[in-house]
């Protein structure tokens, strides 16, 4: 699932249930892939101020969460959680606080 930051501020891509965050600069695009082979993965997205939250489900069943995933940049380079995270980023139980 590709996600592109078409805005003019940093955008957080937040992958659940692992609470992993990847920060995109304006104009950047990342892709979320399931690491599981041979299953039909559906993506659920929620958008809030400055953040796109992604869940991966097997066959679209919210009780079958796919936990193994990877996020890559436009060149296919795998990214680690916290990629480009702003210094001093604040959090709540539900994810990053975007001021």
pLDDT averaged per 10 residues, the chain (length 99): 95 92 97 89 91 93 91 97 91 75
pLDDT for the residue 42: 93
Alpha carbon 13 to chain centroid distance?
4
pLDDT for the residue 92: 76
Three-state DSSP class for residue 7: coil
Ordered by start, the domain boundaries in the chain are 2-81
pLDDT for the residue 28: 97
pTM recorded for the entire structure: 0.89
Partners of 23 in beta bridges: 12
Distances (CA, A) of 5 to 9, 30, 46, 55, 56: 8, 9, 15, 18, 20
Beta carbons within 10 angstroms of residue 21's beta carbon: 20
SS3 content of the chain, % helix, strand, coil (to 5): 0, 45, 55
């Amino acid at each position: 699932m590709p996600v592109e930051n078409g805005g003019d501020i940093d955008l957080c891509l937040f992958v659940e249930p692992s609470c992993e965050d990847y920060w995109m600069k304006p104009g950047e695009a990342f892709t979320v892939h399931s690491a599981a082979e041979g299953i039909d993965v559906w993506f659920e997205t929620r958008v809030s101020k400055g953040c796109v939250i992604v869940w991966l489900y097997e066959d679209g069943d919210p009780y079958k969460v796919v936990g193994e995933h990877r996020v890559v940049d436009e060149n296919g380079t795998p990214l680690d959680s916290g990629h480009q995270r702003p210094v001093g980023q604040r959090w709540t139980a539900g994810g990053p606080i975007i001021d």
